[in-house]
Amino acid sequence: MKSEKLSFDPELKAEGQFKIKKYLLKFWPIIFIFLVWFIFSSPYFLGNKAPFSATYQVNNFAPWSAYPKFWGPVKNGAMPDIITQIYPWKHFTIETFKNGQIPLWNPYSFSGTPHLANYQSAVLSPFNLLFFLLPFVDAWSLLVLLQPLLAGLFMYLFVRSLKKSQVASLISSISFMFCGFIVVWMDYATLAYAIAFLPLALFCVEKYFELKKIRYLILLSLSFPLSFFSGHFQISIYFFITVLVYLIYKFITTKNINALLKITGFIFFGFLLSLPQLLPSIEFYLQSLRSTIFLKGEVIPWQYISTFLAPDFLGNPVTRNDWFGHYAEWNGYIGVLPLMLAIYSIISKKRVQTFFLLIMGVFALLIAFDTPLLTLLINFHIPVLSTSSASRIIVVYSFMFAAMSAFGLDQLVLDIREKKIKKIYFWITLFLIFFLVLWVIVFFKLFIPTERLIVARQNLILPSFIFLVSSLSILVFVFFQNTNKKVKYSFLALILIIIVAFDMFRFAKKWQPFDPKNLVFPSTPTTQEFLRLKGYERVFGNLGGEALVYYGMPSIEGYDALYIKRYGEFIAFLNNGIVTQSSRSVVQFSKNGKYASEAINILGIKYIIHKKADDQKTWTFPYWTYPKDRFVPIYEDERYRIFENKDSYPRAFVVGKYKVINESNKIIETMFSNNFDLRKEIVLEKNPSTNQTKDIRGDIKIIKYSPNLIEMEVATDKNAMLFLSDNYYPGWNATVDNKKSEILRADYTFKAVPVPLGKHTVRFVYDPQSFKLGVYAALLGIILIALSALKFRRNF
């Protein structure tokens, strides 16, 4: 048999090449977005580094900073909350899930505090699935890096749905994916996610008005929990408001009441899907100090407007030369050229779309800066919006003006073709004046401290260069367009894309740290001992959540925007003997406070962790001033000692005596009066179902201590009150031998339940009604979406 030679049909080959070319022409901007993102993320993918400021952690946070090892230079030391809160919370979240519980409660901060409800924990984020598929540090890295990618892709889809060109949409996309807000908050893996789904939601609104396809309504519904589960309530509120305002704008311009009603219905379904997060968080917010504080926080001063053109004109924390304000909180940079193009869209013929984007962007600026509008908002005492950092609404400006840049570019090209040259000259001259003003400030030493002038000057050079290159490129194209009609727009488009990509990539790369993975929470002798201390016995020392929460050691202190207000008041009294509030976000126990000696016992502090270098220092716990037999050393290495507090009260114990006092001030004053024994008596706020007894004896054994469940065996010779030094909070239920028992608030902020004489099993279970109602609402939302999809399946 003769062998047959393979042959190719030229027509089929040509058809295949045509299809490839067709897809490339259609999707090349998407490919470009992925390419820019991959280059930005290459230290992770190619260099075995994590987008985490690990060198900052090990050089500045205990216990790692106590070791003499050279960890390497710190690139960015402006993100402490990631180390002390976000990363440890995520670790606790995933570990709790893996142990078969929903992480509703955190026993390792504030003597127990809600975890899911603190919102920034992002317990319900679907991106948590990454941590079940990959090693923790890799999952974290992807969690961080996916934010600009998603923001860029969704922005491209949205702007394209507005009928803007591919090039214009791509420039808007790059501008938004690496805008100041997303870049500086990227490592938190919360705020950027909360806003990244905004362009997706608006894309769905736009497409449904155009095509009436049910799939866009379903995707719109899903965008709401994707934002609200992301971990930052304030930004998700901005997401929600912007979508509603955009829907109203679409209705006004289309008069399509049918589309309005259907979209509103699916927005409601999306809101139902978000309630498992929202209801517990609202409950916690009302129990927290933050709900009572209404103030102007982190307002952008008008001098900072200069950074919209030159982001580092007033310094940058990365280069240790910032001196004016809060770089992260106030960053509104979207790129020199995108901002220029956005302004060009404003000075051009007004369209309804650009007018809407402009109004929303300017409104956001008026809230972010110190204006009468912001004052009015604060005075309205609107929860969250009037209690959080006002400047963060700058992300709405960034989004709107990034979108406007697409309108500006398409209009610019149209004006060039129609030879409307005067407007282009005016536009470039306008920005030339802006830059000249900044250079005048530098050269004539105006407004800026003399020692900071060199910083302003150096950081103004590159933005000025980008402006000049952009302007000259456009002017050269204008000239050749008038003299040679063969000059194609694609050359200008390529140059402008490269300019924007370079500008935003440089800006993002300068801020974003990538450090070796092995430096992310590395092991030391002390951290190995932390693992052995893990359990229910409380520890105390100069440590934050990076040690206490991450390694599972219960603490009486904490740092969070939300904490139980009453607990903060209790700790504040221990510090100074006055019933007052703790600080806005921190509960800190004074090591030399008025009642420190008694307090460390009632709070169940079993272990004192002490750095040797802190001996005799005022900022550490003065164990050396106490009797030597009270704090007994149980561990020592070259840097740390750990002591056991021999006088510490058990985490749970029984008492026979109690006082019933309703007035909050008198409760604490009674507890720490001379004739009150904290070990044998407690203060309740209502009468229990058991009578008082004397000389009671009891034995308690904690069988299980987990985030949502505490189980213990209690044996007592008389009817008694079982006291547990964990915070009292709605949602905790107790059973004695499987029979429900009322939990009473004891000693101002803790728990107590009555137990009869004999041997019993007592269980405390955290099962908040707010979360259950949220789950039921989400199930209803899923059902309604499914029924709607079935009803309209023909136009899916």
Q: Which of 645, 678, 709 is the last residue of a domain?
A: 645
Give a yes or no: residue 789 inside a domain. no
User: Looking at the structure, do residues 607 and 500 belong to the same domain, yes or no?
Assistant: no
| CB-based contact 323:452 (threshold 8 Å) | yes
Q: Which of 625, 645, 665 is the last residue of a domain?
A: 645
Helical H runs in 86-135? 87-98, 130-133
User: Interior CA angle at 427 toward 422 and 430, to 5°?
Assistant: 125
Res 10: pLDDT:
64
Q: Quick one: pLDDT band at residue 3, thresholds 50, 70, 90?
A: very low
Q: Which of 362, 399, 31 is nearest to 200 (CA)?
A: 399
Q: Quick one: pLDDT band at residue 5, thresholds 50, 70, 90?
A: very low
Q: Which of 281, 298, 33 is nearest to 178 (CA)?
A: 33
Give a yes or no: residue 22 inside a domain. no
Q: Quick one: pLDDT band at residue 324, thresholds 50, 70, 90?
A: confident
User: Looking at the structure, do residues 667 and 641 belong to the same domain, yes or no?
Assistant: no
Query: Each residue of 181-209: pLDDT tens digit?
Result: 999 999 999 999 999 999 999 999 999 99
User: Looking at the structure, do residues 299 and 426 belong to the same domain, yes or no?
Assistant: yes
Res 1: pLDDT:
42
What does the CA dihedral 11, 12, 18, 23 come to, rounded to 10 degrees?
170
Q: Which residue has the higher pLDDT, 482 or 351?
A: 351
Task: Give the containing element (helix H, strand E) for 78.
Answer: none
How far apart are the C-alpha atoms of 545 and 517, rounded to whole Å?
20
What does the CA dihedral 624, 626, 629, 631 come to, rounded to 10 degrees?
-60
Return the sign of the alpha-carbon dihedral for residues 32, 33, 38, 40.
Answer: positive
How far apart are the C-alpha atoms of 238 and 198, rounded to whole Å?
9
Helical H runs in 380-488? 394-417, 421-443, 453-483
Considering 64-78, 149-163, 523-537, 662-676, the range whose residues carry the highest mean pLDDT is 149-163
How far apart are the C-alpha atoms of 52 and 31, rounded to whole Å?
26
Supply the range of the domain harboring residue 322. Answer: 29-515
| CB-based contact 735:741 (threshold 8 Å) | yes
Q: What is the DSSP string of 525-568?
A: HHHHHHHHH-SSSEEEES--HHHHTTTT---S-EE-S--BHHHH
Query: Each residue of 414-465: pLDDT tens digit?
Result: 999 888 899 999 999 999 999 999 999 999 999 899 999 999 999 999 999 9
Res 481: pLDDT:
72
How far apart are the C-alpha atoms of 568 and 552, rounded to whole Å?
21
Give a yes or no: residue 529 inside a domain. no
Q: Which residue has the tokens 């390497």?
A: 72
Q: Is 409 exposed, middle or buried (0-12, 13-18, 19+ CB in 10 A)?
A: buried
Measured in whole angstroms, the distance separating CA 489 from the mean position of its chain's CA atoms is: 41
Helices 336-347 and 421-443, packing angle to 10 deg: 130
DSSP label of 737: T
User: Looking at the structure, do residues 457 and 596 belong to the same domain, yes or no?
Assistant: no
User: Interior CA angle at 562 toward 740 and 106, to 5°?
Assistant: 50
Residue 110 pLDDT exceeds 70: yes
Give a yes or no: residue 423 inside a domain. yes
Q: Which of 475, 500, 515 is the last residue of a domain?
A: 515
Q: How far is CA 301 from CA 235, 307, 332, 380, in A?
A: 21, 11, 12, 22
User: Looking at the structure, do residues 140 and 228 belong to the same domain, yes or no?
Assistant: yes
Write down the number of H helices and E strands in the chain.
Answer: 26, 21
Percent of the chain having pLDDT more than 90?
Answer: 83
Q: Which of 111, 148, 114, 125 is nearest to 33 (CA)?
A: 148
Return the sign of the alpha-carbon dihedral for residues 187, 188, 189, 191.
Answer: negative
Please name every residue paired with 559 in a beta bridge, in sequence order, or none if there are none: 586
Please name every residue paired with 631 in a beta bridge, in sequence order, or none if there are none: 645
How far apart are the C-alpha atoms of 242 and 230, rounded to whole Å?
17
Segment 622-626 mean pLDDT:
94
Number of Cβ within 10 Å of residue 418's Cβ equals: 8
User: Looking at the structure, do residues 506 and 576 belong to the same domain, yes or no?
Assistant: no
User: Looking at the structure, do residues 259 and 379 belong to the same domain, yes or no?
Assistant: yes
C-alpha gyration radius of the chain: 30
Exposed e or buried b per residue across 608-637, where buried means at least 16 C-beta atoms within 10 angstroms of its C-beta: bbbbeebeeeeebbebeebeeebbeeebeb
What does the CA dihedral 239, 240, 241, 245 come to, rounded to 10 degrees?
100
Query: Each residue of 720-770: pLDDT tens digit?
Result: 999 999 999 999 999 999 999 999 999 999 999 999 999 999 999 999 999
User: Interior CA angle at 69 toward 68 and 74, to 5°?
Assistant: 105
Residue 387 pLDDT exceeds 70: no
Res 642: pLDDT:
97
How far apart are the C-alpha atoms of 428 and 416, rounded to whole Å?
14
How far apart are the C-alpha atoms of 103 and 113, rounded to whole Å?
11
User: Looking at the structure, do residues 42 and 146 belong to the same domain, yes or no?
Assistant: yes
Return the sign of the alpha-carbon dihedral for residues 501, 330, 352, 219.
Answer: positive
| Region for residue 563 given its phi and psi (left: phi exceeds 0; alpha: psi -120 to 50; beta: otherwise) | beta
- 208 Cβ contact partners less than 8 Å away, ≥ 6 residues apart: 216, 217, 220, 259, 262, 263
Q: Quick one: pLDDT band at residue 17, thresholds 50, 70, 90?
A: low
Q: Which residue has the higher pLDDT, 488 or 397?
A: 397
Number of Cβ within 10 Å of residue 294's Cβ equals: 17
SS3 (DSSP) at 325:
coil
Number of Cβ within 10 Å of residue 796's Cβ equals: 10
DSSP label of 724: E
How far apart are the C-alpha atoms of 664 and 794, rounded to whole Å?
63
Tokens linked to 178: 């690496």
Query: Each residue of 629-674: pLDDT tens digit?
Result: 999 999 999 999 999 999 999 999 999 999 999 998 899 999 999 8
Q: How far is CA 13 from CA 5, 10, 16, 611, in A?
A: 17, 5, 5, 73
Give a yes or no: residue 759 inside a domain. yes
Give a yes or no: residue 4 inside a domain. no
User: Looking at the structure, do residues 463 and 549 belong to the same domain, yes or no?
Assistant: no
Q: What is the DSSP string of 743-770?
A: -EEETTTEEEEEE-SEEEEEEEEE--HH
Query: Each residue of 568-619: pLDDT tens digit?
Result: 999 999 988 888 888 888 999 999 888 999 999 999 999 999 999 999 999 9
User: Looking at the structure, do residues 443 and 423 belong to the same domain, yes or no?
Assistant: yes
- 640 Cβ contact partners less than 8 Å away, ≥ 6 residues apart: 63, 66, 525, 526, 529, 609, 610, 611, 612
User: Looking at the structure, do residues 305 and 364 belong to the same domain, yes or no?
Assistant: yes
> Could you give the count of Cα atoms lying within 13 Å of 76 in the half-sphere of its Cβ?
25
Q: Quick one: pLDDT band at residue 626, thresholds 50, 70, 90?
A: very high
- 624 Cβ contact partners less than 8 Å away, ≥ 6 residues apart: 615, 616
Res 13: pLDDT:
61
Give a yes or no: residue 793 inside a domain. no
User: Looking at the structure, do residues 303 and 231 belong to the same domain, yes or no?
Assistant: yes
Give a yes or no: residue 2 inside a domain. no
> Could you give the count of Cα atoms lying within 13 Å of 133 in the half-sphere of its Cβ?
10
**Domains contained in the chain, number:** 3
